[in-house]
Structure 1
Amino acid sequence: MTNSEQPRNPLHGVTLERIVTDLADYYGWAGLSDRIPVRCFAVDPSVTSSLRFLRKTPWAREKVESLYLYMLREQRRNAPRQP
């Protein structure tokens, strides 16, 4: 499938690594741990350990993807309007 086949799916073509990295950059590991209380975000957090956990844990991956979509909406809302 190409992007043109899923034009309204913001997760299409975005890797889990990109999602975790963007969330960690936006919220910080502590903020991410506050929002999704899992050990991989709270204790010695890293992208690698998070990916390992999330690939094995569907419920946590769903929460991360949902938070990513929320973050994208928040960024769009807070973006300066173009005249």
Structure 2
Amino acid sequence: MSEQHPNDPLHGIKLAEIVQYLVAEYGWEELGKRIKINCFRSNPTIKSSLTFLRKTPWAREKVEKLYIRSIK
């Protein structure tokens, strides 16, 4: 963990890495159940999910929270 940001577990981790990890960990179907957003439920792809999450702060926050819970 970075000494400059000791309280930020997401420091240095790209959104793409987070989404790829969650897809590998849960799969699209389970991810869509855990976070009820269409980018995970209807024809999901990494690219389309990233586009949506970058434009939608509330959805990105949910994804980041799931990621933090998943890596602990």
* Alignment TM-score, normalising by the size of structure 2: 0.93
Q: Does 1:35 align with 2:43?
A: no
Unpaired runs of 5+ residues, structure 2, are: none
Larger radius of gyration: 1
CA positional deviation for 1:6: 1.0
Among all aligned residue pairs of Structure 1 and Structure 2, give the percentage whose two residues are the same amino acid. Answer: 51
Q: Does 1:47 align with 2:10?
A: no
- CA distance in 1 between partners of 2:21 and 2:9 (Å): 14
Tell me the C-alpha RMSD between the 2 structures.
Answer: 0.8
Question: Where in structure 1 do 4 or more consecutive aligned residues deviate above 2 Å?
Answer: none
* Residue identity in the other structure for 2:48: S
Unpaired runs of 5+ residues, structure 1, are: 74-83
CA positional deviation for 1:8: 3.4
- CA distance in 2 between partners of 1:63 and 1:15 (Å): 15
Question: What secondary structure sits across from 1:5 in the alignment?
Answer: coil
CA positional deviation for 1:7: 2.6
* Residue identity in the other structure for 2:20: T
Aligned residue-pair number: 71
- CA distance in 2 between partners of 1:41 and 1:32 (Å): 6
CA positional deviation for 1:44: 0.9
Q: How does 1:1-83 map to 2 (within 5 A)?
A: 3-73=2-72
